[in-house]
A and B are shown apart, each in its own frame.
Chain A
Amino acid sequence: MNGYGGKILRVNLTTGQISKEPTPPHVAEKFLGGRGFGIYFLYTEVPKGANPLGPENKLIISSGPLSGTLTPGAGKMDFTTKSPLTGGYASASVGGHLTAELKYAGYDSIIVEGVSPKPVYLYINNDEVELRDASDLWGKGSITVETELKKRLGEEFQIATIGPAGENLVKYACITHDFGRQAGRGGVGTVMGAKKLKAIAVHGTKDIPIADPPALLRLGTEAYKACKASEAFEAWVRYGTAGVTVWSNEVGAFPVRNFQAGALEDYSGLSGETMRQRIVITDKGCFGCPSPCGKYSHSKKYNIYVEGPEYETTALIGGDCALVDIEDVAYANWLCDELGIDSISAGNVIAFAIECFEKGILTKEDTGGLELRWGDPEVVFALLEKIARREGIGDLLAEGVKYLSKKLGENTEAFAIHVKGMEMSGYECHNAPAMLLSYMTCDVGAHHNRSWAITYDLQVGRDLVTPDKVDRVIYLQHVRPLFDCLGACRLQWVELSIDLGLYPPILKAITGIDRSWEDLMKISERVWNLTRMYWVREIEGFGREWDYPPARFYKEPVTYGPTKGKLMNWEDIQRLLDMYYEKRGWDKNGIPTPGKLEELGLTEIVGAGA
């Protein structure tokens, strides 16, 4: 099958059985790959009601048809599972070199099943696949283990690992790869930890069959040239995502003190230029990337090397916990990487805990004597360690803000910043309806990567609650995740503005199948609807209420920044959902209608379930 590795690798950790099966062409046709494969296998293979941490849950790791080919940024790998954080659908992607290596070994997906009786790592060297003892790696940090496995196996192996947080079943543990890149959200690392799978090591040397190599060479080269010709190239390579920090503060989109404010009083210590001058030592790109946005940094203050901080970490560990020194954020970033914690959820959890402490809901008795304060890096460092090891208050914080607010009561739910149980990423949206709707309806919880619509709010008017904003959110929810089906990075389009029209001919040159952009968007819509049906299936009573944002956004005005005094109102939130459901062909409770499922070719899959 052109464009694909050709095989699915199935690994049962309970029995130790390893099998290889052909990649089903009908699944490739309807779901493309990456997160499309992820939701197909999750929906059809993991039984309804499975315990996310039990043997029935599966971790589905998938490349896409563009992965490992001559396409800009063709290095994205998807991890799909039932989320231990939310109880619903989780899909997290990582860049680096893993996805290309997996395809060169001849596999499109790895489906990890069961629970190993002892710590193991999965060794893949082309056709040679083994489960190897990882007892000596258990308890060690992610970067430490990646370094160790490369020493043992060779630099050519690509490694994905979990840290102590994953082992200790912290609900928002991540998977780390390429020395500081993460499949971060939803507890994909927690599932690896529950399965006692410490790491995956992959090396491959095979070819990927390409339908029309000369055409790919021509079209791929053209796409690379378009990236480098972009007017934004210079800035994005110099700063990466850290270039957004100044703008985010200037427009009041920076989450500060648990999303109470939209800007820091002084953000100069976190700006992209400050970071570049003080700590960045080199640029770092993923497989096939023409515009390396990764920044590899060294903090003299803490003597650590770390990739980043990315904007999201600066926003949630920096702004949201009120840390204002990039080196403090860099060290917290390094701790998150080594411990294997999602820095977005962790920043939210710590900010929530500080606010609870400030309000007297948590006390020194609860925290083991630690005084939780805004802007105190030592508090952040201490809590990250406690969370990862589930020590003292960390055991509670390891469950995420939704659980915490239920446990603590006292109206803390109003400022537990999450949707569907997933903590919010780095865009304050009291005065950005399209962005708030993006968070409300994102298929994993409050994450920005499916739809980053805040710039649309700024372009057309922040106060407006209009149908075009809903259209924009739905459009973005199909375009951006499509890249996660294709197994490629979206940033060449998002940041460098290369023409989306470049992709269908490239995909055709790779697979030999002629698909229009509209065909691809339909596939993405199919995937979106199946992820929604997964929530419907797994969560009893799932519906409209699960799309509601935290009350802070419609009850408490912004306290500081350009949007000071602004907030959403409840009626507008309901209007947004009404419009969104109608445009999607869902009922008023947010459930896809039978007609919509039929239109997308999902009736049989949804009917059969698992």
Chain B
Amino acid sequence: MAKVKVVGILSHYVGGRGEIEVEGGRSIGEILEGLGIPPALVGIVLLNGKQVEKSHRIEEGDEVKLIPLLGGGKL
């Protein structure tokens, strides 16, 4: 499994959960689709602390952080 940390308003799309476990072997875009998080609202994706594109594939044991871009307001 891989850990996905969902920050601020993005957590509204996953029932208010801040952290979710997902299966690896898929792209971040596919994971977002599965979780129902609109990709355009995810500003920065950190994979193990480094930014990646949404086409990037994650593996078992990875840690992903999804940060929204708001341009002001609550995360």
A interface vs B, CB < 8 Å? 230-232, 234-235, 238-239, 243-244, 246-247, 250-251, 268, 271-273, 276, 452-456, 458-459, 476, 479-480, 490, 493-494, 497, 499
Q: Give the interface centre of A231, A273, A494 by most chain B CB atoms within 10 Å.
A: A231
| Bound form: Cα–Cα A82–B41 in Å | 38
| Chain A residues whose C-beta falls within 8 Å of the C-beta of B39 in the assembled complex | 250
Could you tell me if B67 and A497 are in contact, using CB atoms closer than 8 angstroms?
no
Instruction: Identify which of B41, B44, B51 contacts A458 (C-beta below 8 A).
Output: B41
| Chain A residues whose C-beta falls within 8 Å of the C-beta of B65 in the assembled complex | 231, 234-235
| Bound form: Cα–Cα A497–B10 in Å | 14
| Chain B residues whose C-beta falls within 8 Å of the C-beta of A243 in the assembled complex | 43-44, 51
B interface vs A, CB < 8 Å? 7-8, 38-44, 46, 49-54, 65, 67, 69-75
| Chain A residues whose C-beta falls within 8 Å of the C-beta of B41 in the assembled complex | 455, 458-459
Instruction: Identify which of A251, A272, A479, A480 contacts B40 (C-beta below 8 A).
Output: A251
Closest chain B residue, CB of each to CB of A249:
B53
| Chain B residues whose C-beta falls within 8 Å of the C-beta of A251 in the assembled complex | 40
Count: A-B pairs, CB below 8 Å: 78
Q: Give the interface centre of A247, A272, A458 by most chain B CB atoms within 10 Å.
A: A247
Instruction: Identify which of A230, A244, A493 contacts B43 (C-beta below 8 A).
Output: A244
| Chain A residues whose C-beta falls within 8 Å of the C-beta of B46 in the assembled complex | 234-235
| Bound form: Cα–Cα A561–B1 in Å | 32
What's the nearest-Cβ distance from chain B to residue A277, in Å?
9
Instruction: Identify which of B38, B44, B72 contacts A480 (C-beta below 8 A).
Output: B72
Could you tell me if A244 and B69 are in contact, using CB atoms closer than 8 angstroms?
yes
| Bound form: Cα–Cα A251–B29 in Å | 13
Could you tell me if B71 and A455 are in contact, using CB atoms closer than 8 angstroms?
yes
Could you tell me if B53 and A268 are in contact, using CB atoms closer than 8 angstroms?
yes
Could you tell me if A232 and B72 are in contact, using CB atoms closer than 8 angstroms?
no
Could you tell me if B40 and A497 are in contact, using CB atoms closer than 8 angstroms?
no
Chain A facing B: main interface SS: helix
| Bound form: Cα–Cα A456–B39 in Å | 14
A476 and B72 contact, Cβ closer than 8 Å, known pairs A239-B51, A271-B53: yes
Q: Give the interface centre of B38, B41, B52, B70 by most chain A CB atoms within 10 Å.
A: B70
Could you tell me if B75 and A231 are in contact, using CB atoms closer than 8 angstroms?
yes
Closest 9 CB pairs of A and B: A452-B71, A497-B75, A231-B7, A458-B40, A273-B51, A455-B71, A235-B44, A251-B40, A494-B72
What's the nearest-Cβ distance from chain A to residue B42, in Å?
8
A493 and B72 contact, Cβ closer than 8 Å, known pairs A235-B51, A235-B67: yes
Q: Give the interface centre of B7, B53, B72 by most chain A CB atoms within 10 Å.
A: B72
What's the nearest-Cβ distance from chain B to residue A177, in Å?
25
A-B contact pairs, 26 of them (CB 8 A): A231-B7, A231-B65, A235-B65, A238-B50, A239-B44, A243-B44, A243-B51, A244-B69, A247-B69, A250-B40, A250-B53, A250-B54, A271-B51, A272-B51, A273-B50, A276-B50, A452-B72, A455-B41, A455-B43, A458-B40, A476-B71, A479-B72, A490-B72, A494-B71, A497-B70, A499-B74
| Bound form: Cα–Cα A455–B70 in Å | 6
| Chain B residues whose C-beta falls within 8 Å of the C-beta of A234 in the assembled complex | 46, 49, 65
| Chain A residues whose C-beta falls within 8 Å of the C-beta of B7 in the assembled complex | 231-232
Q: Give the interface centre of B7, B38, B69, B74 by most chain A CB atoms within 10 Å.
A: B69
| Bound form: Cα–Cα A363–B20 in Å | 58
| Chain A residues whose C-beta falls within 8 Å of the C-beta of B44 in the assembled complex | 232, 235, 239, 243, 246-247
Could you tell me if A497 and B74 are in contact, using CB atoms closer than 8 angstroms?
yes
Closest chain A residue, CB of each to CB of B55:
A250
| Chain B residues whose C-beta falls within 8 Å of the C-beta of A238 in the assembled complex | 49-51
What's the nearest-Cβ distance from chain B to residue A431, in Å?
11
What's the nearest-Cβ distance from chain A to residue B73, in Å?
6
| Chain B residues whose C-beta falls within 8 Å of the C-beta of A490 in the assembled complex | 72
| Chain B residues whose C-beta falls within 8 Å of the C-beta of A230 in the assembled complex | 75
Could you tell me if A454 and B71 are in contact, using CB atoms closer than 8 angstroms?
yes
Closest chain A residue, CB of each to CB of B69:
A455
| Bound form: Cα–Cα A454–B7 in Å | 19
| Chain A residues whose C-beta falls within 8 Å of the C-beta of B49 in the assembled complex | 234, 238
